């Protein structure tokens, strides 16, 4: 009878991968979220001090934004890779 | 979460990776099937070529609307992307490549929100991988090696004289990984993941809204316009992200070429 219990526990245990993958992705959005916030906070500050610089600041902001955003995007891809159970 | 069981046991199946595996249009098997993304890629090339060819017929000094639009796109790719990244001395041979990358990725991304096509081809990882590893990666290495020689190129990238000697091994390792693996890989993954995630989000709202409309019990049906409204809002956001990703792809490709061409200073 304990064999049946063990087999059922094994069946239940193999399906934790999607849950862990979701937690992993959630943790992985902390860094990029902070990073994007910092980049655009700098843009807003710079535009407030010198409104003529808005164009150049925005172009620098977008080109650095994608470097930070790629980390969050890799996170969502890794979620799909890891969520096979 | 289990199943959202509503009227008569109908079950909402959330969209996933399987929704991106479109069945082949004709042909079968791994090598001989012709799928919808392949057709979209061919159509995008035809559309871009036709647009530029038609806009450049009978060029006038004072441009009409079509010529002005084409000149704006050409000027954007030439000045803002190629010249600013590669430098005004040697950017001219790369204008077709950079402009081509920009417009190709842009049109293929736009296919994700245009009603009849409705599939961003860059959400199949093969297309960005091919663009990054078969087009951009050989170009910037070949250009750097041709200008500086193989030894000079490796020395410039991995062991520049401005780095102190005790940092050199770590620096060389990181720069090697960055230039030979991480740069093209992230170039591909960036546009792939953005298109994949964006298409998935729009699908969730559209499918969810239609599921609520058809299988919702009673007052639950009233929630479906929210789904459709968010699908529309996400479509606008997705349009912005698609333009941005196309610009960034060309921008970074030009940046890598410019970095390979630049001499040590």
pLDDT of residue B1: 44
The residue-averaged pLDDT of A56-82 equals 88
The residue-averaged pLDDT of A45-61 equals 93
Does the CA dihedral B98-B78-B240-A43 come out positive or negative?
positive
pLDDT digits (tens, 9 = 90+) for B145-197: 999 999 888 888 888 888 888 998 998 999 899 889 999 999 999 999 999 99
The alpha carbons of chain A give a radius of gyration, in whole angstroms, of 22
* Strand, coil or helix: B151: helix
The two tokens of residue A63 are 């080109």
Q: In this structure, what CATH number is given to the domain that contains residue A36?
A: 1.20.20.10
Q: For residues B51 and B106, is the Cβ–Cβ distance under 8 A?
A: no
Give the integer Cα–Cα distance in Å for B257 and B51.
27
Go through A35-69 and write b for each residue having 16 or more CB atoms within 10 A of its CB, e for each that does not: bbeebbeebeebbeeeeeeeeebeeebbebbbebb
pLDDT of residue B43: 95
Chain B residue with CA closest to A84: the answer is: B17
**Tell me, what's the ipTM?**
0.74
Q: Which of B44, B2, B10, B73 is nearest to B221 (CA)?
A: B10
Q: For residues B195 and B242, is the Cβ–Cβ distance under 8 A?
A: yes
CA distances, B37 to each of A53, B119, B212 (Å) = 41, 7, 30
Q: For residues B212 and B227, is the Cβ–Cβ distance under 8 A?
A: yes
**How many contacts, defined by CB atoms under 8 Å, are there between A and B?**
33
pLDDT band at A81 (very low <50, low <70, confident <90, very high): confident
Is any Cβ of chain B less than 8 angstroms from the Cβ of A71? no
Stronger pLDDT, B55 or A2, i.e. the higher one: B55
The alpha carbons of chain B give a radius of gyration, in whole angstroms, of 23
- Which of B120, B190, B252 should be substituted to probe chain A, the one whose Cβ sees the most A Cβ atoms within 10 Å? B190
Q: Diameter of chain B by CA atoms?
A: 73
Nearest Cα of chain B lies from the Cα of A5 at a distance, in angstroms, of 23
Is any Cβ of chain A less than 8 angstroms from the Cβ of B81? no
Is any Cβ of chain A less than 8 angstroms from the Cβ of B1? no
Mark yes or no for CB contact A63/B248 under 8 Å.
Answer: yes
Domain that holds residue A33: 16-82
Q: Where in chain B are the domains?
A: 7-261
- Total number of domains constituting chain A: 1
Q: For residues A70 and A8, is the Cβ–Cβ distance under 8 A?
A: no
pLDDT digits (tens, 9 = 90+) for B191-240: 999 999 999 999 999 999 999 998 888 888 888 999 999 999 999 999 99
Q: For residues B190 and B245, is the Cβ–Cβ distance under 8 A?
A: yes
pLDDT of residue B5: 47
Task: Measure CA of the first residue to CA of the last residue in chain A; give whole Å.
Answer: 26
pLDDT band at B8 (very low <50, low <70, confident <90, very high): low
Residues of B in contact with A70 (CB under 8 A): 186, 189-190, 193
- Does residue A66 lie within any of the structural domains? yes
Residues of B in contact with A36 (CB under 8 A): none
If 0-12 CB within 10 Å is exposed, 13-18 middle and 19+ buried, where does residue A78 land? middle
Mark yes or no for CB contact B193/A80 under 8 Å.
Answer: no
Residues of B in contact with A76 (CB under 8 A): 193, 196-197
Q: What is the distance, to the nearest Å, from the Cα of residue B133 to the centroid of all Cα atoms in its chain? A: 13
- Does residue A63 lie within any of the structural domains? yes
- Does residue A43 lie within any of the structural domains? yes
| B109: Cα within 13 Å, side-chain hemisphere | 30
């Amino acid at each position: 009878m304990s064999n049946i219990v063990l087999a059922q526990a094994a069946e239940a245990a193999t399906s934790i991968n999607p849950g862990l993958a979701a937690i992993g992705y959630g943790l992985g959005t902390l860094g990029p979220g902070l990073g994007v916030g910092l980049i655009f906070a700098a843009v807003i500050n710079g535009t407030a001090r010198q409104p003529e610089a808005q164009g150049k600041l925005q172009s620098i902001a977008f080109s650095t934004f994608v470097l930070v955003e790629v980390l969050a995007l890799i996170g969502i891809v890794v979620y799909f890779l890891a969520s096979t159970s | 979460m289990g199943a959202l069981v509503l009227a008569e046991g109908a079950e909402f199946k959330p969209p996933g990776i399987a929704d991106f595996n479109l069945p082949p249009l004709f042909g079968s098997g791994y090598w001989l099937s012709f799928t919808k993304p392949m057709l979209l890629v061919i159509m995008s090339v035809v559309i871009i070529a036709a647009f530029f060819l038609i806009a450049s017929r009978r060029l006038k000094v004072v441009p009409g609307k079509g010529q002005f639009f084409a000149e704006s796109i050409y000027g954007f790719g030439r000045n803002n992307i190629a010249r600013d990244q590669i430098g005004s001395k040697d950017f001219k041979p790369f204008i077709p490549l950079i402009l081509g990358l920009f417009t190709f990725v842009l049109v293929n991304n736009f296919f994700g929100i245009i009603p009849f096509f409705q599939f961003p081809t860059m959400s199949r990882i093969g297309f960005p991988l091919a663009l990054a590893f078969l087009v951009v990666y050989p170009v910037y290495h070949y250009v750097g090696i041709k200008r500086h020689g193989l030894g000079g190129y490796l020395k410039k990238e991995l062991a520049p004289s401005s780095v102190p000697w005790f940092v050199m091994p770590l620096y060389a390792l990181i720069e090697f990984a960055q230039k030979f693996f991480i740069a093209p890989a992230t170039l591909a993954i960036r546009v792939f993941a953005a298109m994949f995630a964006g298409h998935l989000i729009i699908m969730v709202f559209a499918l969810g809204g239609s599921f609520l409309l058809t299988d919702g019990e009673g007052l639950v049906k009233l929630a479906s316009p929210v789904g459709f409204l968010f699908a529309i809002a996400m479509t606008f956001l997705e349009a912005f992200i698609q333009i941005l990703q196309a610009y960034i792809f060309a921008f970074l490709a030009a940046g890598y070429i410019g970095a390979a061409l630049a001499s040590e200073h």
